[in-house]
Amino acid sequence: MTNNYLIDTHAHLDMYDDIESIIKTAEDYGVKKIIIPAIEEKYFEKIINIANSHENVFCQLGIFPSEAKSWNGDIKEVIVRLSKNKKVVAIGEIGLDYYWDKSFNDVQKEVFKEQIILANELKLPIVVHDREAHLDSFKLLKEYNKDSDVVFHCFSGSLEFARECIKEGWYIALGGVITFKNAKKMKEVAKEIPLDKLLLETDSPYLTPVPYRGKENQPAYVKFVAEEIAKIREVDVDKIIATTTENAERVFGI
């Protein structure tokens, strides 16, 4: 049976005041499942509670690059304990971000490495935040990841880099930026990569796609990401929806 519903693989539901209306609007747009990423330990319980309260909401646990200095053994133990909850479907979003502050890149790399190893131990996929750190992100994953699926969330690399990631068996997640006129690099990626390695996301409340650019993003708008990719690839949107949904269900076990 063909999947005719969408999955938003990356939406910060914990950042909304009225979560119920956001989820309801998503359902109205045909978005049946949503995955919430984690940023800091203090939000772990909140996102798990949101996931537990909604049948089709799931979550990730991990420490975001900007919070790498907070990492310690206690947080690791918390992730191990909380990941026993079946709603925890990945370690993320973790990785490297050299855009804002390069002063603690070594700390970021060490914490990323530790979380890659943890994901392997827990047999969970890795959801990667990679901003202006493509080479280091690739090297660390290549060296330390043994058998976890890898998803490059909000992919921002070149087509060449995407191809290298695909060769490793990793997945590319595209979001609202794909709808921006000047997103030439990302449109190239969307056109060329194998469909069986593609996932959809919003990264809401950020990076709102056209036609709502400039307003707050929400999971419902992943529909516009699917439509733009279909247009770029010159295929029916139902094909994009069915394939990306199947991919997400396979990767995250949902």
pLDDT band at 172 (very low <50, low <70, confident <90, very high): very high
Does the structure show a pLDDT above 80 at 2? Answer: no
Does the structure show a pLDDT above 90 at 121? Answer: yes
Does the structure show a pLDDT above 60 at 66? Answer: yes
Answer whether 85's CB lies under 8 Å from 48's CB.
yes
Q: What does the alpha-carbon distance between residue 131 and residue 156 come to, in Å, rounded to a whole number? A: 7
pLDDT recorded at residue 101: 83
Partners of 34 in the β-ladder? 8, 57
Show the domain range for 162. Answer: 6-252
Residue 76 lies in a domain: yes
Residue 88 lies in a domain: yes
The residue among 101 and 179 whose pLDDT is bigger is 179
User: Whose CA is closest to 7, among 48, 51, 47, 56?
Assistant: 56
Rounded mean pLDDT, 138-153: 98
Q: Which residue type, as a one-letter code, is found at position 190?
A: A
- Residue pointed to by tokens 């094909």: 239
User: Whose CA is closest to 129, among 226, 47, 221, 203?
Assistant: 203
- Chain-wide mean pLDDT for the chain? 97
Residue 122 lies in a domain: yes
- The CATH number of the domain holding residue 93 is 3.20.20.140
Say what the pTM is: 0.97
Residue 68 lies in a domain: yes
Rounded mean pLDDT, 223-233: 98
Residue 1 lies in a domain: no
Structural domain tally of the chain? 1
pLDDT recorded at residue 105: 95
User: Residue 77: in which H helix or E strand, if any?
Assistant: helix 73-82
pLDDT band at 213 (very low <50, low <70, confident <90, very high): very high
Nearest 5°: phi and psi at 21? -70, -35
First to last CA, the chain: 16
Q: Residue 133: CB partners within 8 Å, gap ≥ 6?
A: 95, 96, 97, 98, 105, 108
Does the structure show a pLDDT above 70 at 95? Answer: yes
pLDDT recorded at residue 3: 74
Rounded mean pLDDT, 130-141: 97
Does the structure show a pLDDT above 80 at 98? Answer: yes
pLDDT band at 1 (very low <50, low <70, confident <90, very high): very low
Query: pLDDT > 90: what percent of the chain?
Result: 97
Rounded mean pLDDT, 77-94: 98
Query: pLDDT > 70: what percent of the chain?
Result: 99
Rounded mean pLDDT, 122-140: 97
